Amino acid sequence: MPKKKTGQRRKAEKQKLRQKEIRTAKDQLDLAKFPCNAVMASNYECDKCGKKQKSRAFCYFCQSLQRLPMCAHCGKIKCMLKTGDCVVRHPGVFTTGLGMVGAICDHCEAWICHGRRCLTTHACICPLIDAVCQECERGIWDHGGRIFRCSFCNCFLCEDDQFEHQASCQVLEAESFKCQSCNRLGQYSCLRCKTCYCEDHIRRKGFKYEKNKPIPCPKCGFETSQTKDLSMSTRSHKFGRQSQGGTYESDENGCNHYGNQPHDYVPENYTDYQEDDGEYQDDDDDDDDDDDDDDDDDDDDDDDDDDDDDDDDDDDDDDDDDDDDNDDVGDNESTRESERNSNNKL
């Protein structure tokens, strides 16, 4: 019979298992939970401008230094080590601020503490190496937000495009779910290549596959998933006249359109209609011009008649004035003759 394990032996084995789980969990840690991709330490915003952003050495907006810098590898704000791991010796003294930092990472743009392990290992295993957004193609130094990974294709995404990308990520480049090499239904889908593969073409010859692990894509090597477990959709291309259903009514235009004719459909004899309409419009314009000319002539005649009447009235007035003058002259002559006759009698 095997020897019974002592309490110290059982405790040591449990500690080994726990340390192994911690190491494996660190490899599978979500990108948003890494200290180099965390939110800025002091109240989750800049001390000077007050804008929320990713943890970095200097503020992305105002370039100011933060009061409590955080290590991008171990995530500590205060160095309390009393051992010999610190490059800068401070026995029995706790250090914060610039007394704790030792370098700036070129990949994540964050402070690294002066611990020897952080300084020597972080630059090689930084999770934000080549972290360029798949949509806008911006890196860490080009925007102030955090970096995330797509839950489907596992590519880098910035804070502005993560939701928009994941909403349209499960769309195949093909128009059907058929395999790329044959016409059979694709049972496996690669979310990075946006292609489907059948059971035969998903496996390559001479390649050993591990059990109980997803099959890698033969094109890019990314882990594939079964199509039935995903909400995959195909990309449809519309060219020319395609039937979109029956007739439907447009509430805005108040008319019916046939399904295979869009709103901007133009018939073949559209130009004839336009020419006829143009001729009708020309005829209407000519008639309008004739009417306008007749009206103008009538107006001119009326004006001439009015002028003639005015002239006649003026002539009559002048004749009356002349008659009055002649009467006055006759009266004067008659008085003179009467005076002469009276003088002759005397």
What are the percentages of helix, strand and coil residues in the chain, rounded to 5?
35, 10, 50
Cβ-contact 70, 55 below 8 angstroms? yes
pLDDT at 248: 46
Identify the sign of the CA torsion 201, 205, 207, 210. Answer: positive
Cβ-contact 62, 48 below 8 angstroms? yes
pLDDT at 249: 46
Cβ-contact 62, 46 below 8 angstroms? yes
Tell me which residues of the chain have a pLDDT lower than 70.
1-2, 24-28, 41-44, 81-84, 172-175, 228-335, 339-346
pTM over 0.75: no
Cβ-contact 61, 49 below 8 angstroms? yes
Residue that has been written with the tokens 């449809």 in this structure:
236
Cβ-contact 259, 242 below 8 angstroms? no
Reported as a single tens digit per residue, the pLDDT across 172-228 is: 666 677 787 787 777 788 877 777 888 888 887 777 777 778 888 888 878 887 776
Q: How far apart are CA 151 and CA 16, in angstroms?
A: 31
Q: How far apart are CA 134 and CA 158, in angstroms?
A: 8
Q: What is the DSSP letter of 104?
A: E
Tokens of 54: 């990713």
Q: What residues does 178 pair with on adjacent strands?
A: 185
- Tell me the H-state helices in the chain: 7-27, 116-125, 162-167, 270-345
